[in-house]
């Protein structure tokens, strides 16, 4: 039997994200167990940028719940993720895990190409801001094969299914999960499927999902995006993800080689400003 992990980016029990994930699961036409992760229930500390997880034991040294979250994702056959719009972006619960992404490379064999569908749940029609990009980014940084990503609206818990429209979206997502790659569409980045772009001047654009640049032209059928691969890719292919991992590992030697010069630059700033310290009685880090 397949195992499908449902990642819920909202703390609200039986809220729209949770029931949306469950509705997608209900529509999957294969026997499976739905394994649920409510990210807000786990202690996920900020990444310290120490890079230790890329070396030796390939494990993050922080003593928190990272691996309780990562293991079930790695073991799953597919991913359903839903996150709420919080202030025009995906709730930080997703980002807290994404920030620990250097630790994902130790799981590359298990994570690479895992089918995924992603939903951005917003309360106000049209006011999702960058939430969809946030859930897409989350899926891609998990090295997943994102089949479909959609925005659905619903504010009060349960409202997402007040009419039948979003149930159909959930059914569509379920149907897409175990199908081949999503087909190219002219208004999307031809490299990664993203549809959020930053204008760079003239007709130049940068895809905000894979961060590659190109051009957009207005054709009869609508906008047509052309994007070229950069010299340094993060997730477009397994080989490129692996090459990025090796590049990250190589940072250690680059740091050792330039340590003196780098230290000189940063230590010059040591005494600037006054730090506000956190309260001392917070207790030791667990
Ligand atoms: C702190 C907070 C910020 C929110 N910001 C937005 C927003 O910027 N845009 C929006 O459309 N909805 C916003 N919402 C509404 C939620 O996205 C919406 O209620 C959603 O259904 C919540 O999902 P849940 O039921 O799974 O918690 C916000 C809700 C909260 C609690």
Place of tokens 């040294």: 61
Model pLDDT, residue 231: 92
Average pLDDT, the chain: 96
* Residue identifier of the C-alpha nearest atom 19 of ligand 1: 155
Least confident of 81-90, 97-106, 179-188, 222-231: 179-188
Distance of CA 156 to the CA centre of its chain: 25
Q: Is the CB of 132 under 6 A from ligand 1?
A: no
Q: Residue 263 pLDDT more than 90?
A: yes
State pLDDT tens for residues 241-257: 999 999 999 999 999 99
Q: Residue 99 pLDDT more than 60?
A: yes
pTM of the predicted model, to two decimals?
Answer: 0.95
Question: Residue 241: phi, psi to the nearest 5?
Answer: -65, -40
* Residue identifier of the C-alpha nearest atom 21 of ligand 1: 155
Q: Do 122 and 151 form a contact (C-beta atoms < 8 A)?
A: yes
Mutate to test the pocket of ligand 1, among 24, 83, 85 (most ligand atoms within 8 A of CB): 85
Model pLDDT, residue 72: 98
CA 213/CA 199 separation, integer angstroms: 10
Share of the chain above pLDDT 70, in %: 98
Q: Is the CB of 89 under 6 A from ligand 1?
A: no
Structure tokens at 229: 């691969």
State pLDDT tens for residues 168-227: 999 999 999 999 877 789 999 999 999 999 999 999 999 999 999 999 999 999 999 999
CA 47/CA 24 separation, integer angstroms: 31
Distance 123 CA to ligand 1 centre (A): 5
Q: Is the CB of 83 under 6 A from ligand 1?
A: no
Domains parsed from the chain with CATH numbers: 2-182 (3.40.50.360)
State pLDDT tens for residues 11-31: 999 999 999 999 999 999 999
pLDDT grade for 284, boundaries at 50, 70 and 90: low
Distance of CA 264 to the CA centre of its chain: 36
Report the 10 Å Cβ neighbour count for 149: 24
Model pLDDT, residue 286: 54
Q: Residue 283 pLDDT more than 70?
A: no
Instruction: Give the nearest ligand 1 atom to 159 CA.
Output: 21
State pLDDT tens for residues 33-44: 999 999 999 999
């Amino acid at each position: 039997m397949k195992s499908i992990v449902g990642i819920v980016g909202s703390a609200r029990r039986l809220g729209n994200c949770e029931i949306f994930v469950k509705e997608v699961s209900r529509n999957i036409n294969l026997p499976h167990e739905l394994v649920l992760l409510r990210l807000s229930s786990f202690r996920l500390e900020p990444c310290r940028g120490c890079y230790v997880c890329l070396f030796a034991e390939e494990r993050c040294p922080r003593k928190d719940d990272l691996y309780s979250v990562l293991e079930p994702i790695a073991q799953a056959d597919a991913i359903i993720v839903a996150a709420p719009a919080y202030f025009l972006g995906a709730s930080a619960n997703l980002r807290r895990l994404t920030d620990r992404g250097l630790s994902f490379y130790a799981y590359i064999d298990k994570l690479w190409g895992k089918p995924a569908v992603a939903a951005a749940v917003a309360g106000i029609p049209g006011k999702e801001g960058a939430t969809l990009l946030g859930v897409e980014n989350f899926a891609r940084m998990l090295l997943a094969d994102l089949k479909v990503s959609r925005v659905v609206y619903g504010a009060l818990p349960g409202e997402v299914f007040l009419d039948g429209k979003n149930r159909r979206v959930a059914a569509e997502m379920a149907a897409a999960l175990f199908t081949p790659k999503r087909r190219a569409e002219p208004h999307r980045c031809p490299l990664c499927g993203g549809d959020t772009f930053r204008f760079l001047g003239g007709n130049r654009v940068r895809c905000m999902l894979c961060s590659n640049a190109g051009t957009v032209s207005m054709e009869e059928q609508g906008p047509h995006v052309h994007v070229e691969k950069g010299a340094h890719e993060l997730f477009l292919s397994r080989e490129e993800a692996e090459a990025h991992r090796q590049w990250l590992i190589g940072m250690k030697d680059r740091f050792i080689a330039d340590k003196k010069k780098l230290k000189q630059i940063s230590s010059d700033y040591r005494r600037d400003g006054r730090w506000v310290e956190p309260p001392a009685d917070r207790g030791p880090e667990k």
